[in-house]
Structure 1
């Protein structure tokens, strides 16, 4: 477990968080079902097969940052069938659960959805081994952004390379385009991304200077019928008739997104410079809005935006596979401010509002307040 609190990046340490909150904590209640959209009816438990429960499968963990430079420029990715709890409690329209995902697992770490945040430095070559020796399906890995050899593109149709069950394959990925990028399985892409096989790839430029607080956030839309069908439920799904009903930030829906360890709150202190790397891992565009803060977009798909072209904004539309890096100063009245998709139906758990694709900017200065304690209760934070 990481010692950092909040979204993946450079949040507070656990000790700093507990000191700021005064040790706030509540007990959590486990949940078990995904929400139902107005257009779809979920079958009841009696219509599922025994495979739908799959008690032997692991639960996913939050995505971790994997610094490949510290591992000699090498990382191994395995795929692991898992159960993904986007929000395990009954609060705010929950529980929300994807009973089957295919999670990426880096080295000996826990499987996660999104996959691990793979981080390296400009000028380094990275060896990524896709280990499918225990797999049941064929997979590949495709990295956006960087320029690589044809055979390392990760597309089976055009390279002839597929990593079948029982096989491993090593890709050489040069870190020659600095910025925030995206990786995903490119075998039967329309299903494998929707089963959870996607993540962030970050190449720090030479001499990179981090902001006071720096966070990574992947947003995604899901049609839970696919995940339920793969778990053995009696439900039909077609990518031609996709109807998303779950909307996540780093794999979680609100209020679980505000959980300091399982979720992705952006924890700041007054005067911090804050840098947020947004990645869209889904198939719909999401206009992301931060309350009470004006930010500037400084990178797009790894390309640096010249200062003369930057301007203050508070909504940034992130299309599928796009990466936007924004910066702002934590100069508002210390409080708790939402970060959410402004397609308001995406900020729901089933028919319950608010929920879904919503997180927040949380000032350390207000972590000892009653309203913060209430939010932690909704999120299920347990000290």
Structure 2
């Protein structure tokens, strides 16, 4: 076993007796072997801390299930969209992850049929060898409410995570897949800062398209150093403050093929070679819904009702299961970090009109040569392939008096997909695709940002 992960096993079979080896018995065996630094089990050496990994509480708990989301009813794509089975105010059947951190057993079980898209955004600190702390994600497979005939297992695959041992990789042919009604804890030692994605890797073409996808990033050890950049917040361990920022926003790109979602809801089999993206989404929404407020997006302190269900963003009950806003707010002179990740099946071209973006990282790798040469570059458009991520920084321009509506007094810049059909989904009026706004407010109008994607308007 390498030192990038520790094992999180709840039970196995005793090789000597053939009986089930429970946690307590396993811990007893591990404790008795502590003097020699490891325990031999099934012919393998396990580090002492491996014995207790599953018994430590998770840092984040996710539930895998199905549910419904909202997309504009136009353009209508009969009979696939809107789906006649959808509850009032919703249109599209999905699979997805829900944040069930801190819930009671009863609340957690009630989240079946309450999946969200995109999956909960979360972040972790880079592993510090001087203060070693592992990060644990527990996945509970809640099952599918609309399709009880399916017994799909689920996994969490941290896309691009370096040196993960196969046991925690989430690729089902080489690691553990979680059956319906069961739980499993993944243990990580994230050594490389940057922006990543995660998704279910069981029948991944279907499960990714159906919505079991999300964004995760690793904060560098350099965080907290205010001598390099005043905020003490960075994308990478740059050593010079070049990746420092004041505000950060996640931009997760995904797609919906309406026929595939309809087919899963109506017990039909889509032909995946016919794939076409009818809707392209930004943080699980389409424009102008991308500008609507956030729901609960702090992964470690989730907000929910007494039953554990999500609370809809203010004024937008139809976005109850799409809690992530894409609206970017900032003040003149502030440095803004944008974390892009694409888990659709097509290349996207995200453009920020009127503001130059500096690309400082790609696929969780800083733009630096082996000799330290700075290879970052400025651009107005990012071509993002499927499975790729980009970290960019821009400096908010001067405030010019405001182009906002209703006397808001902010300047507006458009962040959108330059591919015409991706930016508007061919909907009437040009609405409905991967587009949002960057709003530059007057100095002093915004409070400090507490967590990613927070608007922070005073």
> TM over 0.5, yes or no?
yes
Report the counterpart of residue 265 of structure 1 in structure 2: 327
Deviation at 1:98, TM superposition (A): 4.5
Query: 1:249 Cα shift?
Result: 0.4
What is the distance in 2 between the residues matched to 1:356 and 1:338? 13
Distance in 2, matches of 1:205 and 1:83, equals 36
* Cα distance in structure 1, aligned partners of 2:440 and 2:180: 47
**Which protein has greater RCO, CA pairs closer than 8 Å, 6+ apart?**
1
5+ residue gaps in structure 1? 1-70, 369-383
For the pair 1:202 / 2:202, whether they are aligned, the reply is: no
1:8-66 per-position Cα deviation (integer Å, ceiling 9, x unaligned): xxxxxxxxxxxxxxxxxxxxxxxxxxxxxxxxxxxxxxxxxxxxxxxxxxxxxxxxxxx
Picking from 417, 432, 443, the partner of 1:355 is 432
Q: How far does the alpha carbon of each residue in 1:235-267 deviate from its partner, in whole angstroms, 9 at most, with x for none?
A: 762211101110110011011111133531101
1:230 aligned counterpart, secondary structure:
helix
Please, which runs of 5 or more residues in structure 2 have no aligned partner?
1-55, 76-80, 83-88, 104-113, 128-132, 145-150, 224-231, 234-244, 295-312, 314-324, 401-410, 446-458
Q: In the aligned structure 1, how far is the partner of 2:262 from the partner of 2:398?
A: 43
| Maintained 8 Å contact 1:267/1:362 | yes
Question: 1:125 aligned to 129, 134, 145, which one?
Answer: 134
Task: Give the structure 1 partner of residue 69 of structure 2.
Answer: 84
Aligned to 2:279: 246
157, 175, 190: which one pairs with 2:173?
Answer: 157
1:37 corresponds to which residue?
Answer: none
Pick from 195, 201, 217: which aligns with 1:186?
A: 201
Identify which of 238, 247, 257 aligns with 1:223.
257
1:105 to 74, 92, 98: 98
1:114 shift after superposition: 1.0
> How far apart are residue 281 of structure 1 and its match?
1.6
Contact 1:272/1:329 (8 A) holds in 2: yes
Kept in 1, the 8 Å contact 2:259–2:270? The answer is yes
Q: What's the TM-score once normalised by structure 2's chain length?
A: 0.59
How big is the alpha-carbon RMSD for the aligned residues of Structure 1 and Structure 2?
2.7
* 3-state DSSP of counterpart to 1:193: helix
Which TM-score applies when normalising by structure 1?
A: 0.70
**259-268 or 209-218: bigger deviation:** 259-268
Q: Per the alignment, do residues 343 and 89 of structure 1 end up closer, same or farther by CA in structure 2, a change over 3 Å counting? A: closer
Q: In the alignment, what sits opposite 1:286?
A: 348
In structure 2, C-alpha distance between the alignment counterparts of 1:225 and 1:97, rounded to whole Å: 16
Quick check: 254-263 or 284-293, which moved more? Answer: 254-263
C-alpha deviation, 1:89, in angstroms: 9.4
SS in 2 for 1:308: coil
| 1:324 and 2:390 are equivalent in the alignment | yes
The alignment partner of 1:347 has SS state of helix
Q: Determine which structure has the larger strand proportion and give its number.
A: 1
- Alpha-carbon contact 1:87-1:255 (below 8 Å) kept: no
Give the Cα separation in 2 of the matches to 1:128 and 1:182.
Answer: 14
Distance 1:351 1:292 in 2: 25
The Cα shift of 1:86 comes to: 3.4
Asked if structure 1 preserves the Cα contact closer than 8 Å seen for 2:157 and 2:170, the reply is yes
In 2, the alpha carbon distance for the partners of 1:170 and 1:232 equals 32
* Secondary structure of the corresponding residue to residue 151 of structure 1: helix
The match for 1:340 among 372, 397, 416 is 416
Query: Which whole-Å CA distance do the structure 2 matches of 1:206 and 1:247 have between them?
Result: 35
Alignment partners' CA distance in 2, 1:98 and 1:251 = 13
Shift of residue 87, structure 1, vs aligned partner = 4.5
Is 2:63–2:141's contact at 8 Å kept on the other side of the alignment?
yes
Deviates more, 1:105-114 or 1:321-330: 105-114
C-alpha change, 1:157 and 1:325, in structure 2 (3 Å) is same
1:139 is matched with which residue? 154
